[in-house]
Structure 1
Amino acid sequence: MNLVFATSLVPVAEPRSGYDIANRVIVDALRMMGHRVSVLGFLQPGHMAAETDETVVLADLEVTNARVNAMRKLGWLVSAFARGEPVSVTKMHAVPDTQVAEALAGLQPVDAVILNSIQLPGAFLHLFEGLPSLYVAHNVEGASAAGNAREAKGVLDRLLYSREARLLTAIEQTLCRRAAYVFTLAEEDRAALGVDDPDRSCALPLVTSVEPPPGIAPRMAQYDVGMIGSWTWSANRAGLDWFLDEIVPRLPADIRIAIAGGIDDTPSGLPGNVECLGRVPDARAFVRSARVIPLVSRAGTGVQLKSIESFELGLPSVATGSALRGIAEIPANCLVADDAPAFADKLTSLVQRSRVGEIPDLDGRIFHASQLRRLTAMLSEGLARIGRVNDR
């Protein structure tokens, strides 16, 4: 098939965020299956598109709130209210409708458009109307915004998040209604989007790359516990705050903890055994430097790619149930706990057993191969629905 992958941010050569990794894997898997995939979207500054010959970049565009100044944020907010759109969607109007329409026309003829996440398709709904489409729902965006509204500490933030939730839900409903088939990244998101009929949707198992991870290799533990994430995202920050507030005080003081990743404000009053490293040059090397990985998702929707990466590397872990969204087979060296005392007890036990060599790493290639087989099978299922639509 000839496909167009329409996305806010195009897949990049060196993906770092969960969103970038998921985009790259889906496109790479489709190409591995023999399909031609042209990509249409924006390029985040400082990155290089993964396949420049097959990518139409509308413009360079920074969309991360933490990386823009106050004036840019205010401009997005004003535009969102003027257009009656969610803020995350209105960011896509960095180029005019005509430019997107011309780029889309230049990629014809195609068998289908894969509408990746809500932002770009939501901003240009009228341009994609009538085209055979599949929708990839990375998260249930409306539900995530509603959760942010419930957790908001100020009245203004609560009102803004509530507005986002209402508008995002309406766009999600439109994209799901138009799509021949919907891909989610977690099983429970299918019901949340109202497409839990197997004829309407499936959940895509993900990997961090279509290339297999390395096998078991010796590693030197620098920390007992290591966490990495994009802590500027509110759902991730909720998990980090829970870990620091509820888990760390229950751990022995000799357990050394390292936290890596971008963060807006470093938590104050951390105990001496907790170190915030900020962004690290090599995320994989960092997680391999920790004996045990806590997977602490407490909110949000979609899949947790940090969980998948830990399992691909075969690392011991303790996970909340939310951190295991989209994962069918849980590795034997992953323990599960949702309440704080049980989580802390299991984390302490794993660290102590790891120190004496009782908890070995597993061969993550087995987990990766299983996930990749299921990913290509689910993609084939969705593409078959497009074939039936085109044959009518």
Structure 2
Amino acid sequence: MIGRILFITIDQPRDDGSGGQIASWRLLQSYASLAPVDLVAITPPGGTTSADPCSLAANTTLVPVSAFYFASSPIRLGIKFAISQVGKRPYRLTKFDVSHARDVIRSQVQRHDYDLVHFDHLSSFVYHKLIKGAPSILMEHNVESDLIGRMASEDSRRVARVALRREARRVEAIEARIVHDVDHVLTLSEHDRVALSRLSASNEEQVSVWPVPIKPTVIERPSERAVFNVLVLGSLKSAGRWHGLTWFLDNVWPRVCAQVDHARLSVVGACSVKQRNELAGKDSVKVYGYIDDIDSLLREVSLCAIPLFVGAGIRIKVLELLSRGIPCIGSEVALQGLPDIRGTDLVHTADEWVSSLTAAARSPETLSLAARDGLAELQRTHSPAAALTSLTQAVEAAVRRNETRRQA
């Protein structure tokens, strides 16, 4: 029986936020159905205790960090990265090691005797020594060493490549050690479960997949559209998304427009003024920036294109789009971690991108019908009940291992 849980995360869980925020919110929701949860979230500046986590957590404490995003604090985080290279811990663990967060967690531990501690994201595990004795679970949203390794392979700057490859090796060593230190590890995909298990083969049973539950949403969409409207969704503050979009605009989109009348690319997500101005000069491209009500736009969307070449884990946004009946065409990284599910089309080369998009423009109902079938599959594998069962089993496994280790 679990009496009280401490949930430590990076960024604020939101059911209407980024993919990582959505996964955290729904995991918090599953935990809250098991026991009262105290939430400590390290957030960007300006965060507020929104209704989402407050409706789930018994107590919510936000710890704002001014240097949260590299795009907005390149000098401070650049210095922190440089210092981490001569220290014992990699940048992934030092970035969010904040004294105020340590004070908050110490205070929470003094007030409550926690029966379980959940660390959300690898970066939050830097605080694990502050909580002694309680069973612990780590959610690895991504295999971070894999993510950093991909970033290194895509970076054209030699010095950056060398630094990132070194960081990937250091993070891999940390991930292998954590699989041993923590009582249980959750991943979002079988791909990541296998990757982490390989890092510490003797502890393979300690790693399991938690299926992010989907919330099917009926969106009335016209059967015929005058415009072939392709959506690109996600914050362009991510270097990986910006790199993928610019590649797509250079190598794919002009060829699609040459073959498809009335084609339009709708770019939705936070972006800088410089990025918006650069995209404004592109033919058949409309930049929306960040919008609150994405569902109103989805009514007019034919499909979502995800040209992503740097990343890891599972694309939560793909699950969200399929739950709304929106088909997705994506690169290998974009669809990584997802089962072979209908309503998605995996493409590798620019020619394959053009072929898939033009085929969808000629026969839009084919992919849309497949997306409906895909949604039916996801409702079986990613239901709230399946998520709760998976989490319950992980908690039981963590408690058992913790008891065994304490008795040894």
Which range, TM-score by smaller chain? 0.7 to 0.9
Q: Aligned partners of 1:170, 1:114: CA distance in 2, in Å?
A: 21
2:36 maps to which residue?
Answer: 36
Q: Aligned partners of 2:396, 2:310: CA distance in 1, in Å?
A: 33
1:297 maps to which residue?
Answer: 308
Q: Aligned partners of 2:348, 2:209: CA distance in 1, in Å?
A: 23
Report deviation, 1:27: 0.7
- What secondary structure is seen at the aligned counterpart in 2 of 1:258? strand
Report deviation, 1:101: 4.8
Return closer, same or farther for 1:276/1:64 CA change in 2, 3 Å cut-off.
Answer: farther
Is residue 160 from structure 1 mapped to residue 163 from structure 2 by the alignment? yes
Return closer, same or farther for 1:63/1:185 CA change in 2, 3 Å cut-off.
Answer: farther
Aligned residue identity for 2:32: R
Q: Aligned partners of 1:244, 1:230: CA distance in 2, in Å?
A: 16
Equivalent of 2:190 in 187, 191, 194: 187
Q: Aligned partners of 1:217, 1:174: CA distance in 2, in Å?
A: 49
Return closer, same or farther for 1:377/1:223 CA change in 2, 3 Å cut-off.
Answer: same
Gaps of 5+ in 1: none
2:121 maps to which residue?
Answer: 117
Report deviation, 1:382: 0.9
Is residue 261 from structure 1 mapped to residue 269 from structure 2 by the alignment? yes
Return closer, same or farther for 1:280/1:71 CA change in 2, 3 Å cut-off.
Answer: same
Report deviation, 1:130: 4.9
1:68 maps to which residue?
Answer: 72
Is residue 6 from structure 1 mapped to residue 25 from structure 2 by the alignment? no
Return closer, same or farther for 1:287/1:242 CA change in 2, 3 Å cut-off.
Answer: farther
Q: Aligned partners of 1:22, 1:358: CA distance in 2, in Å?
A: 26
Is residue 235 from structure 1 mapped to residue 220 from structure 2 by the alignment? no
TM-score by length of 1: 0.85
- What secondary structure is seen at the aligned counterpart in 1 of 2:304? strand
- What secondary structure is seen at the aligned counterpart in 1 of 2:97? helix
1:326 maps to which residue?
Answer: 337
Q: Aligned partners of 2:23, 2:379: CA distance in 1, in Å?
A: 16
What are the Cα deviations for residues 62-89 of structure 1, in whole angstroms up to 9, with x where unaligned? 4542553444334533553564433343
Report deviation, 1:308: 0.8
Is residue 133 from structure 1 mapped to residue 136 from structure 2 by the alignment? yes
Report deviation, 1:18: 1.4
Return closer, same or farther for 1:54/1:174 CA change in 2, 3 Å cut-off.
Answer: farther
- What secondary structure is seen at the aligned counterpart in 2 of 1:290? coil
Any residues of structure 2 matched to 1:1-392 within 5 Å, and which? 1=2, 2-12=4-14, 15-32=16-33, 34-44=34-44, 45-49=46-50, 50-52=52-54, 54-57=58-61, 59-65=63-69, 68-77=72-81, 79-81=83-85, 83-96=87-100, 99-106=103-110, 108-122=112-126, 124-128=127-131, 130-193=133-196, 194=198, 199-207=205-213, 212-219=215-222, 224-253=229-258, 254=261, 255-263=263-271, 265-266=274-275, 267=278, 271-328=282-339, 330-331=341-342, 333-354=343-364, 359-360=368-369, 362=372, 366-367=376-377, 369-370=379-380, 371-372=382-383, 373-392=385-404
Report deviation, 1:283: 2.8
Alpha-carbon contact 1:5-1:38 (below 8 Å) kept: yes
Report deviation, 1:99: 0.6
Gaps of 5+ in 2: none
Which stretch shows the higher mean deviation, 278-287 or 146-155? 278-287
What are the Cα deviations for residues 172-195 of structure 1, in whole angstroms up to 9, with x where unaligned? 222211122211112111222225
Q: Aligned partners of 1:168, 1:161: CA distance in 2, in Å?
A: 10
Aligned residue identity for 1:229: G
Alpha-carbon contact 2:279-2:285 (below 8 Å) kept: no
Report deviation, 1:300: 1.7
What are the Cα deviations for residues 108-135 of structure 1, in whole angstroms up to 9, with x where unaligned? 322221111111213x343246542111
TM-score by length of 2: 0.82
Aligned residue identity for 1:134: I
Report deviation, 1:385: 0.3
Return closer, same or farther for 1:93/1:297 CA change in 2, 3 Å cut-off.
Answer: same
Aligned sequence identity (%)? 22
- What secondary structure is seen at the aligned counterpart in 1 of 2:119? strand
What are the Cα deviations for residues 7-66 of structure 1, in whole angstroms up to 9, with x where unaligned? 122424x5411111111011112223x333222232332342434462342522245425
Alpha-carbon contact 1:250-1:344 (below 8 Å) kept: yes
Alpha-carbon contact 1:181-1:201 (below 8 Å) kept: yes
Q: Aligned partners of 1:189, 1:258: CA distance in 2, in Å?
A: 31
Alpha-carbon contact 2:183-2:402 (below 8 Å) kept: no
Return closer, same or farther for 1:153/1:41 CA change in 2, 3 Å cut-off.
Answer: same
**Count of equivalent residues:** 384
Aligned residue identity for 1:206: V
- What secondary structure is seen at the aligned counterpart in 2 of 1:324? coil
Q: Aligned partners of 1:277, 1:149: CA distance in 2, in Å?
A: 30
Alpha-carbon contact 2:63-2:101 (below 8 Å) kept: no
Aligned residue identity for 2:19: G
Report deviation, 1:227: 0.9
